[in-house]
Structure 1
Amino acid sequence: MSVALPAASACVEAPLVAHLIYRLDIGGLETLLVDTINRMPAGCYRHAVICLTDYTDFAQRITRPDVALFALHKPPGLALGTHADLFRLLRRLRPAILHTYNLGAIEYAATAWAAGVPARVHAEHGRDARDPQGLNPKHNLLRRLLVPFIDRYVPVSHDLRGWLESTVRIPKRKLQLIDNGVDTERFHAGANAGVAEAWQDPDAFVIGTVGRLQDVKDQVTLIDAFDILRRDLPGERLRLVLVGDGPLRASLEARVQAAGLQDSVWFAGARADVAPVMRSFSLFALSSIAEGTPVTMLEAMASELPVVSTAVGGIPELVAHGNSGTLVPSGDARAMAAAIVPYVRDRALARRHGAAGRARIEQKYSMRAMLAAYVALYDELCHTKKTPRKAITPCAE
């Protein structure tokens, strides 16, 4: 087990929340976790992050000095030894709450119960590419069997909430929807002062996407749609930018080369400066086959970008078709290309839809609203489980 100990021990009397995640690396869920820890009032809760496998330099984005970081180095497979390692760690840390994320971490709620952790929360942020509809009977049986050990299941979209209730059959009383939130001060429209990306051109229309290069994001369809778009609009200066890295990068680069698109497609790699990168785009595109409420889309809409996306998961709740963007079926490159055409031809339309998206984010998907919901949930569980805390007044008040 590897551990990064906190530099200070502020608010030692505040209850500890242990966040259990498969791996801490660049990604939407991981960004959300880090932002939640950094932005939550320090006097309310302390935090520890436990990675089942490992963490990368991405962990340096945690700016609070009192956050402990652990890696259990779980090997592939069942790995019963990891349960034992986590049990011992939780007995030492004695957190008030264990907060697990997605299928890869859910089974450890039982371990936390055995270790005496008073409250257990499990969040579902999206489904796996191999099971985009969430119908895998073994996975859903596991989710149901763990109901006695989990106090609250937290879906991040109405779609995920409905699936947990009707398909997985989680009791309604244990479900609590909490919408993802975005930092609307960091993500906004405007010029990038002193920043010039290689793909920028005042006369070009830049289609951008941000996400890990893996099957669930289906960037193949986006590249194919861009190929169609170039042929349909031969007089337009079009650019495609893929921000992110992952196991499919080499095959995607080969596809771009085979299509002769290497002069107009950029693989920007993993970027820490996503906010200014967003401001270099003209439109945000997402070709995923499964999603919860994608953080990158929240960031794009906060940046006043029109959105063209597949209508999967919680995206139809977020993007108003014909108002802040256009939704298309997954896996349909021709439909995605056709949806982008009006924005290329009518930049005023792009601006109107981008402004509508920003208004939607400010109305419902702010970072402040999300943090308030999580603090209220933690407060409720600490009160219900009679977890000792220094202050009697709940932090949410």
Structure 2
Amino acid sequence: MKRKVLHVIPSLATGGASCLVTDLLCALDAACFTIGLCSLYEEPNNNLSKRLRDANIELFFLNKKRGLDVPILYRLWKVIKTYRPDILHVHQRAILYTLLPAVLGKVPRRLETIHSMAEWEGGRDTRFIRRFAYQYFGFVPVAVAKNVAASIKRVYKIKEVPVIQNGIATGKYRAVKAAVPIDKPVSLIHVARFSPEKNHALFVKALQKVVEARPGRIKALLVGAGPQLPSVRRMVQTCRLEKVVEFLGERQDIAELLGYSDGLVLTSNIEGLPLVVLEAMAAGKPVIATTVGGIPEVIDNGKTGVLIPPSDTDKLTDAIIDLIDHREYFTAMGLKGTAVVRERFDLSRVAEEYKNLYNIDGAQPVF
């Protein structure tokens, strides 16, 4: 008999967590599970919901208001009561609104994927609710990286935390060894939401130094949207980098953009296990990234990418200049990364591990 699984996520707006959830639900074994997804907010204008419907995933959009929205508790409880899931799988801040409906709906098995370091996954209110959910109401946290699992144990005093590292559909990425003319500027791409923890300012500061050291040898593509976008634009203008930096906005064609680039830079102060790092490696592109979250679990420094300390402008500058000066070496590094991602971080492995987790008949209490 097929088990019914209901995922609850705040929003299907484009982002790492929503893309991962969409990929996972489309990859799960339909012979074993009937799958639904409930989004607290309205349906966004992107291709994620279309992909889910094409995969026969039942969708619920609750049209939550901004800020505290108490009536959403009732609407979510009605979804749970009607859908009657065997397994409830929660993501991000949705735990705030899901705990009470899950308890009242007597869902037998309750999971929550933690997508970033536990100290930073939600605010104090979210962490307060999580503590109760884990200790008293049978919710099991699942970490997307080993470092994330360690942070969950540290914050919530839990002894055992399952780890299912993120993965991607590696087959849609094509690793190509590009013959880059030495006089052609290196094109680096940065894909992230424009929010403080992504630290775009670090990239801009490093670019300013790189342009001084290697004029005419660097181009940067910034992909994403978010509240920090205006301030980053102003910083680019202040640093006189308008001819170096191009803002591409929010995009759905990340695989194609990676194919056009010569490498990925990620300057985050906080991460879980970012999909864009896996995507760049699958596309055969060298990655320069900060040593945060699960990134060091993917990148072998100096072999499959370059790791730098968070907020270290000089180290980032040096890494970019090295890429400019030693393109063949970095190209080989990118191709080595492809082999790692295909072997260890393919989406099929993620789906199989969640399938196994869903099929565990845990002794969780039903309150």
Q: TM-score, normalised on structure 1?
A: 0.84
Match of 2:174 among 180, 188, 192: 188
SS at structure 2 position matched to 1:146: helix
Aligned with 2:278: secondary structure? helix
Structure 1 residues 202, 98: CA separation in 2 closer, same or farther (over 3 Å shift)?
A: farther
- C-alpha contact (below 8 Å) 2:133/2:139 kept by paired residues: no
Task: Provide the identity percentage.
Answer: 26
Quick one: which of 36, 39, 51 aligns to 2:27?
39
CA RMSD of aligned residues (A): 2.5
Which of 193, 206, 227 in structure 2 is aligned with 1:225?
206
Q: 1:337 to 1:288 in 2, by over 3 A?
A: same
**Are 1:257 and 2:237 an aligned pair?**
yes
Displacement after TM superposition at 1:330 (Å):
1.5
Aligned to 2:133: 146
Matches within 5 A, 1:306-317: 306-317=286-297
Superposed displacement of residue 384, structure 1: 6.2
Q: For residue 353 of structure 1, what is the aligned residue in structure 2?
A: 333
CA contact (8 A) 2:177 2:335 kept: no
Q: Indicate the SS of the match to 2:171.
A: coil
Q: What SS does the corresponding residue of 1:43 show, helix, strand or coil?
A: coil
* Distance of 2:61 and 2:109 partners within structure 1: 22
Once the two structures are TM-superposed, the CA of residue 140 in structure 1 deviates from its matched residue by 3.7
- Aligned pairs for 1:59-208 (under 5 A) are 59-106=49-96, 108-127=98-117, 132=120, 139-147=126-134, 148-172=136-160, 175-190=161-176, 203-208=184-189
What is the aligned partner in structure 2 of residue 242 from structure 1? 222
Q: Secondary structure at the match of 2:41?
A: coil
Does residue 1:368 correspond to 2:345, yes or no? no
Give SS of 1:349's match: helix
Aligned partners of 1:135, 1:47: CA distance in 2, in Å? 26
Contact 2:77 2:104 in 1 (8 A): yes
Cα offset for 1:316?
1.2
Secondary structure of the residue aligned to 2:172 is coil
Question: Residues 304 and 354 of structure 1 are in contact (CA less than 8 Å); yes or no, is this contact kept in structure 2?
Answer: yes
Unaligned ranges ≥5, structure 1: 1-12, 193-199, 386-397
Shift of 1:332: 2.2
* TM-aligned CA distance change 1:138 to 1:72, over 3 Å: closer
* CA–CA separation in structure 1 for the residues paired with 2:182 and 2:72: 51
Match of 1:152, SS state, is strand
1:332 counterpart residue number: 312
Partner of 2:106, secondary structure, is: coil
CA distance in 2, matches of 1:25, 1:80: 22
Quick one: which of 195, 206, 209 aligns to 2:190?
A: 209
Residues 4-23 of structure 1 mapped to structure 2, 5 A cutoff: 14-23=2-11
Structure 2 unmatched ranges of 5 or more: none
Residues 376-397 of structure 1, C-alpha deviations (whole Å, 9 max, x = no match): 111114x868xxxxxxxxxxxx
1:299 deviates by 0.5
Give 1:143 deviation, angstroms: 2.0
Counterparts of 2:304 and 2:4, CA distance in 1 = 40
